[in-house]
Amino acid sequence: MTSERFQKIKDILNKRQPDLTVVMDNVHKPHNLAAIIRTCDAVGIGDIHGVSTNEQKVGVNLKSASGSNHWVNLHIHDSTSSIIRTLKKDDLSIYAANDSKAAVDYRRFDYTKPTAIILGAELDGISQDTLDGADGEIKVPMQGMVESLNVSVANAVVLFEAQRQRLRAGYYDTCRLENDVYEKLLFEFAYPEAAKVMRSRGEPYPKLDHDGAIVG
C-alpha cells in the first residue's frame, strides 16, 4: 500500500454520496451490470440495489462484470416492495426511469435531495408494482427514430445530471459519510483480503495511520 494509493482511496470516500442510489429491477446482463456499477462509482455512489427473483444469476453475472463491483456494494433483494419501504423510511425520493406518457423530463427533478433511481431491464422494463411504489417517472427525451436508450446509457445520463447538480451545491466538497462507515470502508478498500479474513473471524478492523499503515 503506497501513500499515493491510500490518498486516492481517501479522496474517493470523501466524495461518496450516501443519499444517492440506484435500484435495478431484474437487470441481469453482465455488460449492463458492469456499466451501471462503473457509472455509479464515477459519480460517488457506494451502495446500489438489485431486485431479482434469481439471486444466483445476478451473482454469476457480477463475476463476469470484471472488477467494476469492487468499489460499489450491490445489495440483492427478492422483491421491490422491501427495498422501496426501506428507501422511503430513509426519506429518499424514488424515481423510475420509464418511457411512458406519465414520465417527465429527467432534468426537471432536484437530485440534491436524497434520491433513488429505479432502472428496469430493456426487455421487460420496470414491473408495475415498482412503478406503483415510485414517487414519479422520469425519461430521457428522444429526438430520433430510436425509442429508448440502453439501460446503462440511460443510467449514466441521469446520474451525471445528478452529479452536475450536486457539484454545484457543494456536495462533493466535504465528506458526507458517517465516521464509522468511513473508517470501515477505508480499511476494506486498502486491505480487501485482510478485511475478508477478519470479517469471517468476527474480528474488528485495526486502525490505520496517516499513510495507510496498520497501527499495532
Residues 133 and 86 in one domain: yes
Question: Taking the CB of residue 172, how many other CB atoms lie within 10 A of it?
Answer: 17
Q: How far is CA 27 from CA 32, 38, 86, 105, in A?
A: 7, 15, 20, 23
Q: Assign residue 68 the CATH number of its domain.
A: 3.40.1280.10
Residues 7 and 58 in one domain: no
Determine phi and psi for 16, rounding to 5 degrees. -65, 145
Question: Which pLDDT score is estimated for 38?
Answer: 92
Question: Which pLDDT score is estimated for 10?
Answer: 97
Residues 114 and 209 in one domain: no
> What is the span of the domain harbouring residue 116?
18-168
Question: Which pLDDT score is estimated for 66?
Answer: 45
The radius of gyration of the chain from alpha carbons, rounded to an integer in Å, stands at 18
Question: Which pLDDT score is estimated for 151?
Answer: 93
Residue 77, exposed/middle/buried by CB under 10 A (0-12, 13-18, 19+)? middle
- Cell numbers placing 104: 417527465
Question: Which pLDDT score is estimated for 203?
Answer: 96
In terms of Cα–Cα distance, which of 193, 198, 196, 188 is closest to 208?
188
Residues 187 and 130 in one domain: no
Per-10-residue mean pLDDT for the chain, 216 residues long? 93 98 88 91 94 62 57 86 91 94 94 96 81 94 88 96 98 97 97 96 95 89
